[in-house]
């Protein structure tokens, strides 16, 4: 429950951290204080004002001005207006002197977008055959470094607690509960609960499409993991039918009879009723045949102030909906990673990223696996960017890597893992031709070994991706693709992936 008393305590804790110049800790406390402030109280204004001070310290001038505006709009005490006026003046002066360092975003599509699915490039097509089932091919040559998709999940949850992975409990005060972006200097609190913050541009849509049902039970949901996911899809579905369970039921009964081949390439994402298309598409996916307990889901609905009646009188349908959802989610929901904000300058991959949530990416889940894949996923603030890692000639299939690459795992290890986790015997090029693992892969171009060494050394100094190294890396990997697998190309691929992760962190921190 909202409480000005708690809001004030939290703000004071933030002020102590601020004095010690621990700005990230102070920011978390101010955001938490915003969540606890009662609606229309001056505590909102005070916390926004304090957040503007952090922004000024960190030279985030535009964000500073936005927070000053929010403070004024949220009852910042008239008697202290002068503090804000002075800060605003100082911010405007400093902003004038600084040469806006908001560079162009690196993660953008490399070609013009597909008209119906604007987050993928034009030129990707779906094919179906006996061997691969549904898969994606390109009808144009793709080059190393090309960004072919930047997909938002259809449904995702933010994790603040997990029994399985390491997560930051403060995520709810650092990331938008809708788009998962680490928009920590601009988040605004939900007016109902104390456990959700949103980007100003996300708040209304989030509320209308699911959070109005989430809000009264948010704390329970945040500690419920997969239960949260299934219920969230139910909330999204119910909202798409304006809360009418009867209409949702009629629709769900109807889609069972519809075309089983319906795919993401058949619908227009930009249409307003796209939730119905997603539900229809979801229904065509192969579900896990496991039995799932939905006791926890039921308990939440039975005690839900607005949904308990709907639940009581439509139990069979809702239970069936949730059970099917659990079976689908088991196959299609995957962990989402984010950049660790205050991580040290470690070079280890695992130190750059951390689990932040779970979600369903309908397009990105269309790809088959290869132990020598030709695309790479990079997570940026809840979205997945798909980047080409090897030259892909027109007409060829794009392959993702389900965690086991020949550069890191032996053939036996890969085959065993894929069989156990994904239930198939891998016959990719690396498995078929038994590619050796580094350092036993032959060198084919000694000159490139020097380059690979040089780029790896530069990675150690955390050079920006816009530097020459990245472009040189792409160019050489592309031009020498026929040498694959070779030690130098595998080495370059490693630095290539590392530089992309660094760039993702850089963009995330500049939010
Ligand atoms: Zn957002
Ligand atoms: Zn809420
Ligand atoms: Zn394989």
Dihedral, CA of residue 8, residue 509, residue 182 and residue 384, to nearest 10 = -170
Report how far ligand 2's centroid is from the alpha carbon of 216 (Å): 7
Alpha-carbon span 213 to 291, nearest angstrom = 26
pLDDT band at 343 (very low <50, low <70, confident <90, very high): very low
Three-state DSSP string of 152-196: CCCEEEECCCCCCCCCCCCHHHHCCCCCCCCCCCCCEECCCCCCC
pLDDT band at 190 (very low <50, low <70, confident <90, very high): very high
| pLDDT (tens digit per residue) in 192-230 | 999 999 999 999 999 999 999 999 999 999 988 889 999
Window from 39-53, 111-125, 279-293 with minimum mean pLDDT: 279-293
Residue 131's contacts (CB-CB under 8 Å, 6 or more residues apart) are none
Report how far ligand 2's centroid is from the alpha carbon of 228 (Å): 14
Report how far ligand 2's centroid is from the alpha carbon of 197 (Å): 8
The pLDDT of residue 270 is above 80: no
Report how far ligand 1's centroid is from the alpha carbon of 187 (Å): 8
Report how far ligand 3's centroid is from the alpha carbon of 425 (Å): 8
Predicted confidence at residue 429, as pLDDT, reads: 96
Q: Point out the ligand nearest to the CA of residue 211.
A: 2
Report how far ligand 1's centroid is from the alpha carbon of 37 (Å): 21
Report how far ligand 1's centroid is from the alpha carbon of 176 (Å): 5
Q: Point out the ligand nearest to the CA of residue 206.
A: 1
What mean pLDDT comes out for the span 373-383? 93
CA distances from 405 to 12, 64, 244, 402, 429 (A): 49, 44, 47, 8, 12
Report how far ligand 3's centroid is from the alpha carbon of 390 (Å): 16
What mean pLDDT comes out for the span 290-310? 94
Query: Which position has the token pair 């072919």?
Result: 148
Report how far ligand 3's centroid is from the alpha carbon of 127 (Å): 21
| pLDDT (tens digit per residue) in 98-156 | 876 556 788 999 999 999 899 999 999 999 999 998 899 999 999 999 999 999 999 99
Report how far ligand 3's centroid is from the alpha carbon of 328 (Å): 25
Predicted confidence at residue 354, as pLDDT, reads: 84
Report how far ligand 3's centroid is from the alpha carbon of 13 (Å): 53
Average pLDDT of the chain is 91
The pLDDT of residue 267 is above 50: yes
Query: DSSP assignment of 405-429, as one string?
Result: -TTTS-HHHHHHHHHHHH------H
Q: Point out the ligand nearest to the CA of residue 382.
A: 1
Report how far ligand 1's centroid is from the alpha carbon of 196 (Å): 11
The pLDDT of residue 344 is above 60: no
Window from 3-12, 255-264, 433-442, 472-481 with minimum mean pLDDT: 255-264
The pLDDT of residue 341 is above 50: yes
Predicted confidence at residue 342, as pLDDT, reads: 53
Element (H, E) at 260: none
Q: Point out the ligand nearest to the CA of residue 221.
A: 2
Report how far ligand 3's centroid is from the alpha carbon of 197 (Å): 42
Q: Point out the ligand nearest to the CA of residue 210.
A: 2
End-to-end CA distance of the chain: 30
Alpha-carbon span 79 to 46, nearest angstrom = 12
What mean pLDDT comes out for the span 231-257? 94
| pLDDT (tens digit per residue) in 303-315 | 999 999 999 999 9
Report how far ligand 1's centroid is from the alpha carbon of 201 (Å): 7
Query: Which position has the token pair 């999940």?
Result: 153
Q: Point out the ligand nearest to the CA of residue 407.
A: 3
Predicted confidence at residue 425, as pLDDT, reads: 93
Predicted confidence at residue 284, as pLDDT, reads: 86
Share of the chain residues as helix, strand and coil, in percent rounded to the nearest 5:
50, 10, 40
Q: Point out the ligand nearest to the CA of residue 427.
A: 3
Q: Which residues pair with 376 in a beta bridge?
A: 387
pLDDT band at 440 (very low <50, low <70, confident <90, very high): very high
Report how far ligand 1's centroid is from the alpha carbon of 117 (Å): 20
Report how far ligand 1's centroid is from the alpha carbon of 153 (Å): 12
Report how far ligand 1's centroid is from the alpha carbon of 381 (Å): 9
pLDDT band at 463 (very low <50, low <70, confident <90, very high): low
Report how far ligand 3's centroid is from the alpha carbon of 412 (Å): 10
Tell me if the pTM is above 0.85: yes
Report how far ligand 1's centroid is from the alpha carbon of 261 (Å): 33
CB atoms within 10 A of CB 444: 16
What mean pLDDT comes out for the span 323-338? 89
136 φ/ψ sector (left φ>0, alpha ψ -120 to 50, else beta): beta
**What is the C-alpha radius of gyration for the chain, rounded to an integer number of angstroms?**
25
The pLDDT of residue 9 is above 70: yes
**Can you give the length of the chain in residues?**
511
Report how far ligand 3's centroid is from the alpha carbon of 411 (Å): 7
Q: Point out the ligand nearest to the CA of residue 383.
A: 1
Give yes or no for a contact between 113 and 120, defined as CB atoms under 8 angstroms apart: yes
Predicted confidence at residue 175, as pLDDT, reads: 94
Report how far ligand 3's centroid is from the alpha carbon of 432 (Å): 7
What mean pLDDT comes out for the span 88-97? 93
Alpha-carbon span 48 to 43, nearest angstrom = 9
Q: What are phi and psi of 325, to 5 degrees?
A: -65, -40
Report how far ligand 3's centroid is from the alpha carbon of 426 (Å): 5
- Distance of alpha carbon 143 from the chain centroid: 25
Q: Which domains does the chain have, with CATH numbers?
A: 4-97 (1.25.40.10), 124-150+361-509 (2.170.270.10), 156-336 (no CATH)
Q: Point out the ligand nearest to the CA of residue 213.
A: 2
Longest Cα–Cα distance of the chain, Å, equals 76
Give the pair of three-digit tokens for residue 338.
């984010």
Report how far ligand 2's centroid is from the alpha carbon of 189 (Å): 8
């Amino acid at each position: 429950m909202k409480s000005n008393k708690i809001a004030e305590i939290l703000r004071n804790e933030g002020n102590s951290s601020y004095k010690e110049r621990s700005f990230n800790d102070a920011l978390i406390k101010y955001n938490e204080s915003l969540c606890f402030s009662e609606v229309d109280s001056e505590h909102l204004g005070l916390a926004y004002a304090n957040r503007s001070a952090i922004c000024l310290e960190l030279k985030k001038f535009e964000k500073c001005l936005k927070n000053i505006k929010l403070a004024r709009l949220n009852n910042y005490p008239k008697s202290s207006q002068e503090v804000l006026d002075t800060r605003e003046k100082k911010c405007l002066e400093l902003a004038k002197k600084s040469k806006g360092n908001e560079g162009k975003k690196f993660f953008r599509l490399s070609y013009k977008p597909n008209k119906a699915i604007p987050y993928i490039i034009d030129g990707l097509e779906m094919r179906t055959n006996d061997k691969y089932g549904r898969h994606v091919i390109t009808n144009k040559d793709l080059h190393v470094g090309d960004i072919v998709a930047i997909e938002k999940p259809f449904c995702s949850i933010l994790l603040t607690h997990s029994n399985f992975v390491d997560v930051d409990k403060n995520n709810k005060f650092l990331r938008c509960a809708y788009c998962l972006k680490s928009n920590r200097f601009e988040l605004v609190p939900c007016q109902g609960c104390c456990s959700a913050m949103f980007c100003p541009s996300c708040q209304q849509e989030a509320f209308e499409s699911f959070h109005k049902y989430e809000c009264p039970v948010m704390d329970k949901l945040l500690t419920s993991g997969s239960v949260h996911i299934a219920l969230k899809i139910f909330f999204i579905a119910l909202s798409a039918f304006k809360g009418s369970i009867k209409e949702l039921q009629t629709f769900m009964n109807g889609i069972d009879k519809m075309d089983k081949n319906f795919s993401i390439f058949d619908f227009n994402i930009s249409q307003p009723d796209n939730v119905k298309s997603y539900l229809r598409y979801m229904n065509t996916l192969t579900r896990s045949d496991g039995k799932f307990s939905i006791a926890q889901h039921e308990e939440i609905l039975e005690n839900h102030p607005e949904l308990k009646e709907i639940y009581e009188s439509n139990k069979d349908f809702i239970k069936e909906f949730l059970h099917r959802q659990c079976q689908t989610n088991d196959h299609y929901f995957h962990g989402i990673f984010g950049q660790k904000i205050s991580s040290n300058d470690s070079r280890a991959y695992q130190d750059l990223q951390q689990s932040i949530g779970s979600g369903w990416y309908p397009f990105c889940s269309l790809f088959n696996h290869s132990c020598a894949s030709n695309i790479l996923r990079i997570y940026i603030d809840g979205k997945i960017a798909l980047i080409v890692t090897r030259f892909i000639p027109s007409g060829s299939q794009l392959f993702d890597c389900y965690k086991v690459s020949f550069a890191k795992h032996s053939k036996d290890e890969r085959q065993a893992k894929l069989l156990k986790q994904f239930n198939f015997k891998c016959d990719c090029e690396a498995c078929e031709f038994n590619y050796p693992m580094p350092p036993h892969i032959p060198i084919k171009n000694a000159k490139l070994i020097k380059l690979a060494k040089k780029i790896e050394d530069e990675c150690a100094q955390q050079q920006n991706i816009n530097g020459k190294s990245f472009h040189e890396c792409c160019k050489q990997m592309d031009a020498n693709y026929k040498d694959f697998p070779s030690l130098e190309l595998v080495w370059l691929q490693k630095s290539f992936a590392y530089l992309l992760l660094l760039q993702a962190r850089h963009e995330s921190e500049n939010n």
